[in-house]
Amino acid sequence: MNPLGSLNDHGQAVWLDYIERALLTGGGLGRFIDEDGLSGVTSNPTIFDKALAGGSDYDQALGALIGNDPGAPTEAIYEALAVEDIRMAADILAPVHERTMGADGFVSLEVSPHLAADTDGTVDEARRLWRAVDRPNVMIKVPATPEGTPAIATLIGEGINVNATLMFSLSHYEAVAGAYIEGLGRAADPASLASVASFFVSRIDTAAGRALDDIGTEEAQALKGKIAIANAKMAYARFGEIFGGDSFASLKAKGAHVQRVLWASTGTKDPAFSDVLYVEELIGPDTVNTLPIATLDAFRDHGRPRRTIDQGLDEAGDDLAKLKGLGIDLDEITARLQIDGVAAFADSFDKLIAGLDSKRLALAS
C-alpha cells in the first residue's frame, strides 16, 4: 500500500507545500489526490516566486492582464495570477472538502508578509483576499506574530478560515490556539469554520544545530536532530490539553472543528538525517503534514507510517532539558526564527514583484 495514503489511517492529512499553474492545468494535483491521498495545498511568496518568475507558464495570463490594464500595479497583477491559481486548486480539491464535510480539502493563500506587524492591515487584506477567491475551501494564511494573532481571532470571528503560520515555540502555539477559540466564540456558525496551526519544524534543528556545534561536546552532538521533534511533540501534547479541555467543550458541542496542528518546513535540510525524519516522527490524529514534492516522493518510496506523535514524550522533555542545561535558550532561538521567517517571506515577495516587473517589460517590448 502507498505509505502516503496510509497516513490517513493514523488521522494525518497530507498537503502539498507547492503550487504552480502547470500542476493545476496538467492534472498533476488531481493525480496526487487520487494516488497519494493528498487533501490540501499550501502556498507562500517563495513558492509563488519560483512558479511565476521561473518559467513561461504564466506569460499568456500575464500578457492578458497587462493588455486589459497596462497601468495596473505589479502587486495587483501578481494577486490576480495568484487568486486564479488558488481558485483552480480549490475547485480541484472541492470533492475532498465535500467528502470530509468541510474538515479538509483546503488551499491556502498568504497575506502580504509586509503586514506581519500590522493587525488592521492584515485583517483588511485577509478580508479582501477571502472575497476575491470566493471559495469555501480556502484558508487565508496569517503569521502568528504578536500583531497577527489578534487578527486571527478577528477573522475567525467573521467566518474566515485561517491558516496561522510561522509558529516555532509553545508560546506561539498557545497564543494561536487561544485566538482560534476566541474567534469561534464570536462566530455566527462555528461549525462552518476550519483552521490549522502551522508549526515549523526543520528550521529549529538547523538553528539549534549551529548552537550545538559551537559547544562541540559529545553531549551537545548527541542532541543534534532531536530538538525540532521534541519541540513539536510538546506542542501536540498541548494541543490535546487545549482541545480536549473545558475551554473548547462548549464549542465542540456546537459542532466546531479542532484547530489541527500542521507540521510545516518538513523537508530535511541536513543530509546526515533521514529524508523523511520530519514525517515519520510526527504522525498522529488531527495533524497535517505539508510536504515539498521531494519529501512527498521520498515518503511514498520508503516511508514507514505509524503513530509516533505521542510516543517518547518523556525523552522529548529530557532532550529539551538537556538543551537548556547546555545554556542554549530555545525561546530565544524560536523568537529569532519567527522574525527571520517573516523577513525571508518579505524578501521573496519583493523578489517576486521585481521578477514580474521584468517579465511585464519583456512582454510589453
- Is 224 a catalytic site residue? no
- Give the phi and the psi of residue 198 in degrees, each rounded to 5: -85, 110
Options 141, 226, 233, 359, the catalytic residue: 141
Indicate the Cα dihedral angle 287, 230, 281, 105, nearest 10°: 20
Q: Are 160 and 126 in contact (CB under 8 A)?
A: yes
Where do we find the cell 496510509?
6
Cell numbers for 198: 502551522
Amino acid at 164: A
Residues in CB range of 170: below 8 A, 6 or more apart: 231, 234, 235, 238
d(CA 309, CA 230): 10
Which residue, 273, 333, 297, is CA-closest to 17? 297
Rounded Cα distance between 276 and 289, Å, is 11
Closest to 14 measured CA to CA, from 302, 275, 262: 262
Evaluate whether 195 touches 162 at the Cβ level (below 8 Å).
Answer: yes
Radius of gyration of the chain (CA): 20
The residues that are catalytic are 141
